[in-house]
């Protein structure tokens, strides 16, 4: 069952609609390559084991950060088409709240018509990239909640109950 684009976040719905107008696989590949060229360069520091997407034939990295309650992704791949898939997801998911990303189902790829033209290994790669991004959103959300809980315990006012005992005499 596919999700109507109206149920998707606006940024992702626009991309899905754009790709759904593709009339043949070659156009889909051309769009992915165009997207791959728009993806900013990934810092070498972000090419770390924790950012590596496992289960992809290509080398794929996705890094994430939480700013003002929104997730921001960066990514790269050594394959132009896979880099295009990364760019598609980065553009579609950037700026969303972690809970929105976590709640998404990957079946929106069917509406793009890309799944029909992707090889099984690339389709599996897309799923793995998407799941990695969801896992990162989940981790960022957990870290954010842990930070808030720690702040809450530190910022609680101390227990200032009045002392009704007789005050001590003050002597000089």
Active site (annotated) includes residue 56: yes
Give the mean pLDDT of 3-14: 82
pLDDT at 70 over 70: yes
Rg (CA), the chain: 23
pLDDT at 144 over 90: no
Average pLDDT, the chain: 87
Residue 128: Cβ within 10 Å count: 17
What was the pLDDT predicted at 116?
76
Q: What is the DSSP string of the chain?
A: -PPPGGGS-HHHHHHHHHHHT--SHHHHHHHHHHHHHHSPPPPGGG-SGGGBPTT-SS-EEEEEEEETTEEEEEEEESSHHHHHHHHHHHHHHTTB-HHHHHH--GGGHHHHTHHHHS-HHHHHHHHHHHHHHHHHHHHHHHHHHHHHHHHHHHHSPP------SPPPPP--
The answer to whether the predicted template modeling score (pTM) of the entire model surpasses 0.85 is: no
Question: How is residue 107 written in tokens?
Answer: 């079946």
The domains of the chain are located at 5-145
**CATH number of this structure's domain 5-145, picked from the four choices 3.10.450.750, 3.30.360.10, 3.90.1010.10, 3.40.50.2000:** 3.90.1010.10
**124-134 pLDDT, tens digit each:** 999 999 999 99
**pLDDT grade, residue 33 (50/70/90)?**
very high
Give the mean pLDDT of 111-131: 89
Specify the range with the lowest mean pLDDT, choosing from 52-61, 78-87, 96-105, 156-165: 156-165
Closest CA to 91 of 40, 125, 54, 126: 40
What was the pLDDT predicted at 1?
46
The catalytic residue among 42, 56, 86, 101 is 56
């Amino acid at each position: 069952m596919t999700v109507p684009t109206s149920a998707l976040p606006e940024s992702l719905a626009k991309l899905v609609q754009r790709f759904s107008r593709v009339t043949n696989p070659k156009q889909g590949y051309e769009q992915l390559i165009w997207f791959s060229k728009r993806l900013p360069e990934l810092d070498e520091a972000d090419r770390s084991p924790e950012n590596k997407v496992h289960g992809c034939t290509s080398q794929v990295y996705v890094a994430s950060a939480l700013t003002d309650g929104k997730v921001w992704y960066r990514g790269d791949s050594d394959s132009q088409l896979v880099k295009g898939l990364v760019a598609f997801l980065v553009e579609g998911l950037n700026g969303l709240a972690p809970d929105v990303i976590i709640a998404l189902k990957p079946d929106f790829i069917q509406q793009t018509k890309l799944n029909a033209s992707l090889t099984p290994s690339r389709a599996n790669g897309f799923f793995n990239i998407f799941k990695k991004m969801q896992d990162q959103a989940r981790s960022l959300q957990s870290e954010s909640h842990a930070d808030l809980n720690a702040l809450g315990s530190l910022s609680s006012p101390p227990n200032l109950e009045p002392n009704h005992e007789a005050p001590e005499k003050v002597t000089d």
